[in-house]
């Protein structure tokens, strides 16, 4: 059985034919002129900087899960982990106009301006930049739509997704999440 990638039919053998996807980029606060200062994080006046950082992460990495957003800002300040106070400060700094949805796994997703669950595209990333668990479900569905799902049985569809995600193997819970994305792409 073959797979169709962006209009090209390719057998499911090595080397696979792949689609060129946009690249997922991790936010670079320094390059953006933002200088995190951990000692000032809890100061009310510093919330302007936290607001800028949250906006940058959403614009650069979005759609992005709330916990990923909190982690990026916390790590930039040298915090080893983000407790409730840090989480509240970061999420409270997100502009109210930012689109928020709840992912199929129950996590909040923040969407950059001009992007919606219907218009999102998959962005390739190295496994060190973004784990599959941190890819919003709608983005996995967008990736699945690049495969010729009408001509693929489930194992071939999963194999195509595994290759596109650059994974050695699909294991639960990733396997079941990817299969849900394939099924969603098939049904609409």
Residue 85 has pLDDT above 90, yes or no: yes
pLDDT for 86: 97
| Average pLDDT, integer, range 146-167 | 92
Q: Are residues 42 and 83 in the same domain?
A: yes
Residue 173 lies in a domain: yes
Number of domains the chain is built from: 2
pLDDT for 52: 97
Residue 30 lies in a domain: no
The CA–CA distances, whole Å, from 183 to 40, 139, 151, 159, 174 equal 47, 14, 13, 14, 14
pLDDT for 125: 85
Residue 147 lies in a domain: yes
Q: How confident is the model at residue 134 (pLDDT cuts 50, 70, 90)?
A: very high
Q: Which helix (H) or strand (E) holds 82?
A: none
Provide the residue range defining the domain that includes 56.
38-98
Residue 12 lies in a domain: no
| Average pLDDT, integer, range 163-175 | 93
| Summary count for the chain: helices (H), strands (E) | 6, 5
Residue 79 lies in a domain: yes
Q: Are residues 128 and 183 in the same domain?
A: yes
Residue 5 lies in a domain: no
Burial environment of residue 39 by CB neighbours within 10 A (0 to 12, 13 to 18, 19 or more):
exposed
Q: Which helix (H) or strand (E) holds 149?
A: none
Residue 81 lies in a domain: yes
Residue 184 has pLDDT above 50, yes or no: yes
Percent of the chain with pLDDT over 90: 78
Domain end, chosen from 98, 113, 146, is at 98
pLDDT digits (tens, 9 = 90+) for 6-39: 443 334 444 444 456 689 999 999 999 999 999 9
| Average pLDDT, integer, range 100-115 | 95
Residue 155 lies in a domain: yes
């Amino acid at each position: 059985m073959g797979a169709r990638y962006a209009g090209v039919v390719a057998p499911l053998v090595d080397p696979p034919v792949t689609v060129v996807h946009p690249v997922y980029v991790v936010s670079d606060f320094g390059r953006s002129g933002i200088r995190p200062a951990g000692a000032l994080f809890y100061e009310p006046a510093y919330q302007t900087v936290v607001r800028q950082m949250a906006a940058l992460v959403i614009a650069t990495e979005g759609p992005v899960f709330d916990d990923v957003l909190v982690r990026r800002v916390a790590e930039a300040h040298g915090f080893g982990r983000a407790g409730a106070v840090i989480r509240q400060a970061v999420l409270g700094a997100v502009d109210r106009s930012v689109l928020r949805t709840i992912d199929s796994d129950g996590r909040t997703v923040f969407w950059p301006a001009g992007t919606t669950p219907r218009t999102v595209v998959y962005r390739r990333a190295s496994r060190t930049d973004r784990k599959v668990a941190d890819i919003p479900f709608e983005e996995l569905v967008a990736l699945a739509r690049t495969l010729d799902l009408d001509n693929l049985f489930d194992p071939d569809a999963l194999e195509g997704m595994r290759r596109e995600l650059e994974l050695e193997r699909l294991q639960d819970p990733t396997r079941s999440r990817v299969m849900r994305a394939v099924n969603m792409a098939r049904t609409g």
